[in-house]
């Protein structure tokens, strides 16, 4: 029998979502549904998957729900209202988001205003924007919106943008999982459409394909199911950088990234 996961601190959802009232009704209700209903946000904190003070880059960040969640967690912790049995939440020194949809960028601007100089959400396409240097990069449910060749290119650029010891965290669908995958794809189409996109073509892979690609690009990959109670095929991939040859201590050759990827 598995032990049920501890629920997130009760004030966290309110703290994270109130700021979206400054934008529009959609922003607030979307944040409540997303942060309250999607298990990934609690798991990032419960499992302590982020380092203490990272420079964080979230690609396809939407209205910045992840940033609001992390800010609220850090605020609760600073106020002494963080549960003792959860790891200390991270206090990112930089939270930069890249988002395609101008409306979401506007919502983020309303929600964060100038009150949090460490938060910046920019309108742009992750296929073209310079990633700079960071410690953690996330892509939550957005890699499958562009084709396989561009996925590989983005992942290679992520690998280059991460400082030594950096981590890439992503969630993907497992195209080999049958009905749960078809269901999550159907919901993805519907939600994407209501958010103002045209019905997109989605570029999916079986879990084994995602892992092989990420390993080839230069990551050590751990996976875990991340659908919560929903009958989906969502998988969290925690990808830690394998040292580049230049990072390895003398006499300890690091595994090579394949010629084709370098
Ligand atoms: C399913 S939503 C997830 C939003 C956010 N990651 C979250 O968890 O709330 C995917 C987001 O990726 C954005 N997106 C898709 N392709 C993108 C691209 N090439 N560059 C930047 N953002 C992109 C979409 O506009 C959408 O906001």
Q: Is residue 166 part of a domain?
A: yes
Q: Is residue 253 in a domain?
A: no
User: Which atom belonging to ligand 1 lies closest to the Cα atom of 38?
Assistant: 8
- Which domain range does residue 119 map to? 12-242
Any domain includes 214: yes
CA 58 to ligand 1: nearest atom: 6
The label of the residue with tokens 């969640």 reads 69
Distance 191 CA to ligand 1 centre (A): 11
Question: How far does residue 252's CA lie from ligand 1's centre (Å)?
Answer: 39
Q: Is residue 41 part of a domain?
A: yes
The best mutation among 142, 149, 171, 172 to test binding of ligand 1, ranked by most ligand atoms within 8 Å of the C-beta, falls on: 142
* Gyration radius of the chain over CA positions: 18
Convert the pLDDT of each residue in 182-236 to its tens digit: 777 777 777 777 666 666 788 999 999 999 999 999 999 999 999 877 767 899 9
Domain count, the chain: 1
In a domain, 255, yes or no: no
Q: What is the pLDDT of residues 62-85, one digit of tens each?
A: 999 999 999 999 999 999 999 999
Q: How far apart are CA 181 and CA 220, in angstroms?
A: 24
Q: Tell whether ligand 1 has an atom less than 6 A from the beta carbon of residue 140.
A: yes
The reply to whether 5 falls in a domain is: no
Asked if the structure places residue 251 within a domain, the reply is no
Q: Domain for residue 261, yes or no?
A: no
Q: Measured from the CB, is residue 121 less than 6 Å from ligand 1?
A: no
- At 8 the three-state DSSP class reads coil
pLDDT in tens, 155-186: 999 999 999 999 999 999 999 887 777 777 77
Pocket flag, ligand 1, residue 99 (CB < 6 Å): yes
115: CATH: 3.40.50.150
- Which segments within 68-185 are labelled E, that is strand? 94-99, 119-123, 134-140, 162-173
H/E stretch holding 57 = strand 55-59
Nearest ligand 1 atom to alpha carbon 125 = 20
Ligand 1 contacts CB of residue 100 (under 6 A): yes
pTM: predicted TM-score of the whole model, two decimal places? 0.90
């Amino acid at each position: 029998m598995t032990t049920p996961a501890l629920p997130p601190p009760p004030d966290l959802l309110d703290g994270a979502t109130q700021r979206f009232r400054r934008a529009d009704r959609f922003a607030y209700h979307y944040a409540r549904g997303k942060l309250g209903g999607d298990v990934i946000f609690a798991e990032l904190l419960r499992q302590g998957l982020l380092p203490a003070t990272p420079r964080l880059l979230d690609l396809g960040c939407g209205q910045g729900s992840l940033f609001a969640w992390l800010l609220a967690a850090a605020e609760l912790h600073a106020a002494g209202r963080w549960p003792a049995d959860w790891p200390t939440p991270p206090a990112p020194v930089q939270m930069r988001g890249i988002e395609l949809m101008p409306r979401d960028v506007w919502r983020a601007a309303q929600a964060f205003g100038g009150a949090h100089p460490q938060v910046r959400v920019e309108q742009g396409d992750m296929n073209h924007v310079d990633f700079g240097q960071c410690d953690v990069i996330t892509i939550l449910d957005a890699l499958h919106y562009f084709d396989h060749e561009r996925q590989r290119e983005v992942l290679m650029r992520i690998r280059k943008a991460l400082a030594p010891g950096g981590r890439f965290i992503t969630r993907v669908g497992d195209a080999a999982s049958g009905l749960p995958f078809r269901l999550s794809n159907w919901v993805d189409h519907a939600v994407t459409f209501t958010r103002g996109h045209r019905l997109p073509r989605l570029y999916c892979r079986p879990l084994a394909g995602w892992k092989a690609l990420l390993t080839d690009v230069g990551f050590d990959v751990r996976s875990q199911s991340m659908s919560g109670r929903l009958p989906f095929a969502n998988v969290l991939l925690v990808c830690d950088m394998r040292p580049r040859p230049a990072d390895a201590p003398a006499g300890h050759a690091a595994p090579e990234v394949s010629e084709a990827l370098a």
